[in-house]
Structure 1
Amino acid sequence: MLPQETIRRKRDGGALSAVEIEAFISSLAKDELSEGQIGAFAMAVWFRGMTRDETVALTLAMARSGDTLSWPGIDRPIADKHSTGGVGDNVSLMLAPIAAACGLAVPMISGRGLGHTGGTLDKLESIPGYNIMPDAALFRRTVNEAGCAIIGQTGVLAPADRRLYAVRDVTATVDSIPLITASILSKKLAAGLDSLVLDVKIGNGAFMTGSGEAETLARSLVEVANGAGVNTSALITDMNQPLADAAGNAVEIRNCLDFLASRKKGTRLETVVLAFAAEMLLQAGLVKTAADGEMLAGEALASGRAAEIFARMVRLLGGPADFVENPEKYLPRAPIERPVVASDDGWLAGCDARGIGMGVIDLGGGRRHPDDRIDHRVGFSGLLPLGTRVARGEPIAVIHAADEAGFERAAAVLRDAYRIDQVPPALPPVIAGRVAADLTD
């Protein structure tokens, strides 16, 4: 079956059969397709979309393109969470150890930065020695002994998605619901999960900027995943500003450690992390209500158990044994760390979150091309949340830059990104909705 014929049929608006999709994805996984053919297929899907049956077929073909995992000997529910991507979204780093501390086993398959959004793997590579691509034996050992492991796609786990993911990043085809659905769920189906919770972002820093798009994606993900036998729900969360007060790689690892040390109480980030921990426990059947789940998760955080599990995971995957106790011995720092200040008195009332994400890329903290090397030192920290009252000359963020030119560009980005008003803003809730298996909010 010629791949160009499959591309042509989708380009012209035809519905592809499961056989056609399976053949195309099989060729992709075997490196039999050129980057041009992969990009053309992605663009055809972006313009023409896919039916539900096509999306299911694409997801299953990608999940079957490599090995699938099983978890013999682990008597806890196998659970995971995935985000559609945001700016300052480091939820996974804290959520996995919190969920593990509450009794779940969390084999988390994460990705690199995509478009303007940061990647969990890029952040973890800020930790010297951390092995994001362990073999199956080490992956299983880490999940068994630590309770969680955050790693990347190995060459044998959904390999078709790995190549398609990289091409989507540089061909403006990221924000396609069928491609997002298949990309996320193929990895999760291959990971042998019992349950899954999805974070579907909405807002100017998300791929789905409108509520209708976000809900459509959430329903697509929930329906396809549950149809494949994985108990799944989704929360729709606000991404009209960075979620954490840091955006970058090493800066977000520092933010993670602060969170695990209970130094981020009362933040939007805490609200989201505890909500997802509760949802994971609820979907896995370990609690009866979300309130019970939040209480259990809060106890795991406050007791220090989650931080201990994070430290164990880092050590088992090759990172420093004393990383959590002495992060500054290991995390790289940018040569320039300097604040940007408010240009006026008032309230921070609006934010271009996507612009901030692009600012991280311009500093060197993300990729313009799939083979670009990342500067893990750079980014933003101390980002003030919307609704904060500021005075002229007060810092609104700290820029971590490799050189003066990078600092000046990033400073311009931040000044343009924030709007200061003379009245307090009305802000949307950070949790905008929930989609469950019965397709009701």
Structure 2
Amino acid sequence: MESVLVIGGARSGIAVSKLLKKQGYHVVLTDMKKVDRDGLDGIEIYDEGHPDFLKEKEYAFVVKNPGIPYSAPFVRYFVEKGVPIYTEIEFAYTVAKEFKFGAITGTDGKTTITTLLYEMLKEKDPSAQVAGNIGIPLSEIVLEHAGESLDVALELSNFQLLGTKTFHPSVCAVSNLAPDHLDYMDSLDAYYASKMKIYENCTESDWFIRNVDDPLIMEYAKNIPCRVIDFSLSRQDVDLYVKDGKAMLWDTVLFDVSDLKIVGSFNCGNAMMASCMAYKLGVSLEKIQDVIRSFKGVEHRIEFVKEIDGVRFYNDTKATNTHAACAALSAFDSNVILLCGGKDKHISFDDLKQFDQRIKYCFSFGQTKDQFASIFSRQKSVETMEEALQEAVKIAVPGDVILLSPACSSFDQFKNYEIRGEIFKDLVHSL
């Protein structure tokens, strides 16, 4: 019996350990934290550290949690030894090749596109699934549905793509590219190039949606082995475009732009990519249009929370980089009281300067709080998000927007961006 080492016992690590065991492997699971052993009978577990003797064993391959860098000493040992290292996405794919995937990556917009695609796929077949970076390990879906033919909307981070070798979607897209994850990747070049692994194993019958408005995508999307669907919000000499208020794929009307409930031109683009992917996967135009009319957005992404005395509160905690924060700010014309800051990912905030005139005041918090003083004319540094909200409420008048759009990851003060968003919403509702 071949052995496989799983590094990282979070949700995806637990799911892939169970799937590996079901496929007949001897599974060794290790994590720096305490592992809940419930349901893991027959799996060899070493937690609260990675013991050195695990390096002495022979493994067919290693499955690594995507959040653990390849530069981590324990992982680097296996890299240098030449042991194949995959993510759970890759292994789950090898078990369930009868699934049809619509796969989405990019710096921003992934979750909106993935969620929209999933809603559309469910209209075609209620058994359709959503998985990946959106929070649900693909291995969990495979454990439950192996042997079935399913459509899956799959959100992929570049960390997950780095660990793929054979993964093959029927249709895929890179939403956009912008600087991110310099605390993980060796270089921006490596980060951008990693996103292009999404179409690496595609064939002639598959589609790749290429955002021609994004110069970085045009620079990095090379040697594409499948059909390219060029997309633009500003041009009409492409395959996927806007004309006379309608989203078009060639001569086919996908939907009326006026039916969209989600704000911002970038969200129109997200909806167009999702609709194109759904069309490729066999969803009818009628079903696509039904979802477009009813979809109210993704939690934590420019999410309307509440209006109090004429002041509107929006939760955009998912904006963990400047590009995403710029997208949120572009959705509002003026009178924005911005709450931002968080973990320092060593990325410049200069892109935000273009919105200075829209910002009534910026209250920045967390590790990067003082870095916004040179970005906005009207700025104050505080320690916490709660303090930032309190300061914002003091100066807000009817017609103002209080927007949490951090432009930073959450890990300096919060476990993840979702918890940051939930706390923000609780604070707003308690006002």
Sort the TM-score into its range (normalised by shorter chain): 0.3 to 0.5
Higher strand content, 1 or 2: 2
TM-score, with length taken from structure 2: 0.37
If the length of structure 1 is used for normalisation, what is the TM-score? 0.37
Q: Which has the larger radius of gyration?
A: 2
**Normalized per residue, which structure has more helix?**
1
